[in-house]
Amino acid sequence: MDNIKNKVVIITGASSGIGEATAYKLAEEGAKLVLGARREAKLQEIVNNIKAQGGEAVYRVTDVTKPEDNAMLVELAKSAFGKLDAIFLNAGLMPNSPLSALETENWNAMVEVNIKGVLNGIAAVLPTFNEQKSGHILSVSSVAGLKVYPGCAVYCGTKWAVKAIMEALRMESAQAGTNIRTATIYPAAVQSELVSNITDEATSTAYRQLYDAYEIPAERVANVVAFALSQPDDTNVSEFTLGPTTQPW
C-alpha cells in the first residue's frame, strides 16, 4: 500500500490485541510507528520485533487518561521521525456488568479511557494537523457504539460517544478546510484482552462463551486500519463495521 509507506503513525493501546496487530501490519507496509501503552515490557518486545524485520518503531509508556502523556507521544513522533501523519486511538476498556451491580469504579474507568482518552488524543494532535492542514485520526468504537445491549450500558455509552465525537470532528475539519480525515471502526467479537477485564462473574462467563464461539483475529481490524490509511488524500472512508461472518451481533 504505497500511501502508507513512510507515514508516521501513533498507536495507543499498542501492547496487545488490535493495537499490537496494527503495529505489525503498518510496519510491514512501511509506516514508522510511535507506540503507546502502559506495559513497557510488551511495548519493548513489539518494537524489537518490528526492528528485527527491518521496520521502524519507537515507544513511550503512556496512560491515555493523562493529557500530558498524549502530548509526549506527539513530541516523540516529531523528534524520532520529524513529522506526524496519523493517530490510531485504540486504547479501551470493557469491564461490563448490569447497572444494578453498581460497579461504579469500572464505570468511571471506562469513561476515563474510552471517552477522555480519545479526547486527549485528539487534543494532542489537532494543533499539528491544523497547522499542516493534513492528518488522519482513527479510533475504535464497537458494535456497542451502534446498538445497545443489556449488561453493557456504560460501555455502550462510551462507544456511542466516540461515534459522535469522531463524526463531528470529520464535519468540522471539512468545514475548516484542514483536510483532516477520520475513520471510526466498529468491531464485533475480535481477539483482545477486553473480556479478561470483566469482573462481574455472570457477565464474564457470557462474554467468554461468546468470544470463544465467534472471535476473529485482531489482524482483521489491522487490515481495515491499513485500508483507511491507504486511501488517497482526497478520500475519507469514515466508518467501518466488521466482525465474524458467523456472529449475528
Rounded-to-integer distance, Cα 228 and Cα 166, Å:
15
What pLDDT was estimated at residue 197? 80
**What is the model's pLDDT at position 98?**
96
What is the predicted pLDDT for the residue at 183?
A: 98
Distance of alpha carbon 95 from alpha carbon 98, whole angstroms? 10
* CB burial string 175-207: b at 16+ within 10 A, e below: eeebbbbbbbbbbbbbbbebbebbebeebbeeb
Superfamily of domain 8-188+217-242: NAD(P)-binding Rossmann-like Domain (3.40.50.720)
The yes-or-no answer on residue 214 being catalytic is: no
In tens, the pLDDT along 45-70 reads 999 999 999 999 999 999 999 999 99
List the catalytic residue out of 24, 59, 149, 155. 155
CA–CA separation, 153 and 155 (whole Å): 6
Q: State how far the Cα of 45 lies from the Cα of 58, in Å rounded to an integer.
A: 11
pLDDT in tens, 171-198: 999 999 999 999 999 999 998 888 888 8
Distance CA 144, CA 208 (A): 16
| In the block, residue with C-alpha cell 493523562 | 66
What does pTM read for this prediction? 0.96
Query: Mean pLDDT by 10-residue block, N- to C-terminus, for the chain (249 residues)?
Result: 92 97 98 97 98 98 98 98 98 96 97 98 98 98 96 97 98 97 97 84 88 93 98 96 92
Handedness of CA 194, 141, 222, 48 (dihedral sign): negative
